[in-house]
């Protein structure tokens, strides 16, 4: 019990130190931030660019085992359905999967291009009915806020797919014609759409 409490206190102290260091540019806070980073739990960081909205996000969403609610809110808004502007609450494991994927690619500070994030049922149906062969699932994990379609500049779609498959973290869809990879935290499975 004491070990768990000490671990939580250390995580909270690290979060407050980092937040203080960001808001106060003095030399003392710079030193405190460096000291805190050397003893602090791991920071989980994501940088993304949304191809439809043109928006960018650069956020630490988790420190150690603690998710940061305000950061999750920012990510949920960033990944909203760009057709309807509806926001959902993403499964934080999806962000962990993206973080692990970028680390496995050797690009922990790289940018992820977002092709599609959350989709409302209306938006999902709209995409499904645009043509006979869209590759959009009727019961898509996008509607559950558990899936994101991505590209990583400078990484081939094949290499991105292979890295995602190696994680065994959920579903991985390969779309070679549209040049993106679907990554979700639903059941582990794989598919390819198009040649």
| Three-state SS letters, 110-128 | CEEEEEECCCCHHHHHHHH
Position 173 confidence tier, pLDDT thresholds 50, 70, 90:
very high
Closest of 162, 158, 46, 155 to residue 94, by C-alpha: 46
- Average predicted confidence (pLDDT) for the chain: 84
Query: pLDDT digit string (tens) for 115-164?
Result: 999 999 888 777 777 765 666 766 678 889 999 999 999 999 999 999 99
Report the predicted TM-score, pTM, of the whole model to 2 decimal places. Answer: 0.77
* pLDDT tens per residue across span 32-82: 555 555 678 999 999 999 999 999 999 999 999 999 999 999 999 999 999
Question: For helices 27-39 and 2-23, what crossing angle results, to 10°?
Answer: 150
Domain ranges of the chain: 1-41, 43-192
**43-192 CATH fold:** Muramoyl-pentapeptide Carboxypeptidase; domain 2 (3.30.1380)
Distance CA 2, CA 112 (A): 39
Quickly count helices (H) and strands (E) in the chain.
6, 8
Q: Are 135 and 193 in contact (CB under 8 A)?
A: yes
- Supply the pLDDT for residue 36: 53
Residue 8: the pLDDT is: 55
């Amino acid at each position: 019990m004491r070990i768990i409490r000490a671990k939580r206190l250390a995580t909270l102290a690290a979060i407050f130190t980092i937040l203080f260091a960001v808001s106060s540019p003095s030399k003392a806070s710079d030193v405190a931030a460096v000291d805190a980073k050397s003893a602090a739990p791991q920071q989980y960081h994501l940088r993304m660019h949304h191809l439809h909205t043109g928006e960018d996000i650069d956020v630490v969403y988790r420190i150690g085992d603690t998710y940061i609610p305000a950061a999750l809110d920012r990510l949920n808004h960033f990944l909203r359905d760009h057709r309807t502007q509806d926001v959902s609450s993403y499964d934080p494991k999806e962000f962990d999967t993206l973080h692990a994927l970028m680390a496995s690619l050797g690009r922990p500070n790289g940018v992820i291009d977002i092709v599609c994030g959350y989709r409302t049922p209306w938006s999902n149906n709209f995409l499904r009915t645009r043509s006979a062969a869209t590759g959009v699932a009727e019961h898509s994990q996008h509607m559950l806020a558990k899936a994101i379609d991505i590209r990583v500049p400078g990484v081939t779609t094949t290499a991105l797919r292979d890295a995602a498959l190696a994680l065994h973290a959920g579903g991985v869809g390969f779309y070679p014609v549209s040049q993106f990879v679907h990554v979700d935290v639903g059941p582990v499975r794989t598919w390819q759409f198009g040649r």
